[in-house]
Amino acid sequence: MNKSEALAETGVPVRHRRLRWNERVSAGDFFADEGRGIEPWKGPNGFRADSFVRPVYRQIKGRSIATATTK
């Protein structure tokens, strides 16, 4: 099983990555929700990701294919 298949089974979109234990949770992050995928974090900022029971995810920021240039 590859990484994208594993994420699909958990209901987390592929464009999200799980936060490492020492990263801080902030506005715009998401929590895994049993059976419903992910939901946005609505609490205060600054907590470490390992202080939560449920996994915390962050949207991957990157260039879209349309803006990428080829040489």
The residue count for the chain? 71
pLDDT exceeds 80 at position 68: no
pLDDT score recorded for residue 63: 53
* Cβ atoms within 10 Å of 61's Cβ, excluding its own: 6
Tell me the pLDDT of the chain averaged across its residues. 78
Give the predicted TM-score (pTM) of the model: 0.65
Dihedral of alpha carbons 22, 56, 26, 62, sign: positive
Separation of CA 4 from chain center: 13
pLDDT exceeds 50 at position 20: yes
Which is more confidently placed, 5 or 46?
46
- Distance, CA of 59 to CA of 71 (rounded, Å): 28
pLDDT score recorded for residue 65: 56
